[in-house]
Amino acid sequence: MATYKKRGNKANKAQNSVESHSTTAEVFNTLDETASKSEQFVIKHQKTIFIILGLVVASILGYLAYQKYVKAPKEKVAADELAFPKAYFEDALNSSVAIDSLLTLGLNGADGKYGFVDIAKEFSGTKAGNLANYYAGISNLKLKNYKEAIDYLEDFSSEDELLGPTAKGAIGDAFADINQPEDALDYYLKAANLRENNFSTPLFLFKAANTAMDLEKFDKALDLFKRIKKEFPDAPEAKNIDIYINKATFASKN
């Protein structure tokens, strides 16, 4: 068997070493050039850079100061103010007499105290001001002031599991009461899908399905009734769901 000897190893290593040093030198030269250009840029524009940095720092400090000295105290005052009309609202929910009067007191305030309407306006942007929109909306809904109810509830937003869907569903109720079923259906579906849970989701799916039936959207209603049966079999709305499914099925075929 022939054996071949490798030649030129030292020469190759020397050449590689030279190339490596050359490449390294080029890299360092490039870095030096880049650093030099950066230094020149900083020197040339240092005044503008310092102004921008100053503005950024001032903005951060201003934001922190606003949060501590303006927003936090305003949040506390708003929360304290909300307690007064909220008491009237809760009394109205638990009372069988003078409900309208209690709700009106909650809305408009009394004895020099703010009601939900004033709190929503004067403390806009606070948590209490946001909640005031919710209470004002529900109060107006119960008083059959449907347009006002819709306006306030649309200004309300919440990440809460139940409060957010309840507000959307209440808008749906208001539209249903003023004979705008298309809008009612839209908001019932928004309420059902906003936060999926075992309470509000089947409730508003059921309302949406029945509204779809009234609009003769039978296929849509059938899908919603079936969803209740499949996903929420233990919900109160699922108790006689087969009756509704059969009704929608029959209607969709005629």
Task: Identify whether residues 64 and 97 lie together within a single domain.
Answer: yes
- The average pLDDT across 190-212 equals 97
At 250, which CATH number?
1.25.40.10
Does pLDDT of 136 surpass 60?
yes
Task: Identify whether residues 153 and 165 lie together within a single domain.
Answer: no
Establish if 69 belongs to a structural domain: yes
Establish if 221 belongs to a structural domain: yes
Does pLDDT of 103 surpass 80?
yes
Does pLDDT of 12 surpass 60?
no
Per residue in 32-65, pLDDT (tens digit) is: 666 566 667 667 666 776 677 666 766 664 554 4
Establish if 64 belongs to a structural domain: yes
Percent of the chain residues past pLDDT 70, beyond the cut: 73
- The average pLDDT across 21-25 equals 56
The domain boundary residue, chosen from 105, 124, 157: 157
Establish if 14 belongs to a structural domain: no
pLDDT of residue 38: 64
Task: Identify whether residues 80 and 147 lie together within a single domain.
Answer: yes
- The average pLDDT across 18-37 equals 57
Task: Identify whether residues 152 and 184 lie together within a single domain.
Answer: no
Task: Identify whether residues 165 and 195 lie together within a single domain.
Answer: yes
Q: Which domain holds residue 240?
A: 160-254
Task: Identify whether residues 188 and 227 lie together within a single domain.
Answer: yes
Establish if 250 belongs to a structural domain: yes
What gap in Å lies between CA 198 and CA 221, rounded to an integer? 19
pLDDT of residue 66: 47
Quote the pTM value: 0.73
Task: Identify whether residues 151 and 214 lie together within a single domain.
Answer: no
The domain boundary residue, chosen from 157, 187, 206: 157
Establish if 206 belongs to a structural domain: yes
Establish if 100 belongs to a structural domain: yes
Percent of the chain residues past pLDDT 90, beyond the cut: 65
Establish if 28 belongs to a structural domain: no
Task: Identify whether residues 92 and 167 lie together within a single domain.
Answer: no
Does pLDDT of 107 surpass 60?
yes
Reported as a pLDDT band with limits 50, 70 and 90, residue 167 is: very high
The 3-class SS string of the chain reads CCCCCCCCHHHHHHHHHHHHHHHHHHHHHHHHHHHHHHHHHHHHHHHHHHHHHHHHHHHHHHHHHHHHHHHHHHHHHHHHHHHHHHHHHHHHHCCCCCHHHHHHHHHHCCCCCCCHHHHHHHCCCCHHHHHHHHHHHHHHHHCCCHHHHHHHHHCCCCCCCCHHHHHHHHHHHHHHHCCCHHHHHHHHHHHHHHCCCCCHHHHHHHHHHHHHHHCCCHHHHHHHHHHHHHHCCCCHHHCCHHHHHHHHHHHHCC
Does pLDDT of 91 surpass 90?
yes
- Do 126 and 78 contact (CB within 8 A), yes or no? yes
| Count of structural domains, the chain | 2
Task: Identify whether residues 166 and 204 lie together within a single domain.
Answer: yes
Task: Identify whether residues 75 and 147 lie together within a single domain.
Answer: yes
Mean pLDDT, the chain, as a whole number? 84
Per residue in 67-88, pLDDT (tens digit) is: 543 456 678 988 999 999 999 9
Task: Identify whether residues 151 and 62 lie together within a single domain.
Answer: yes
pLDDT of residue 16: 46
pLDDT of residue 59: 66
Task: Identify whether residues 215 and 145 lie together within a single domain.
Answer: no
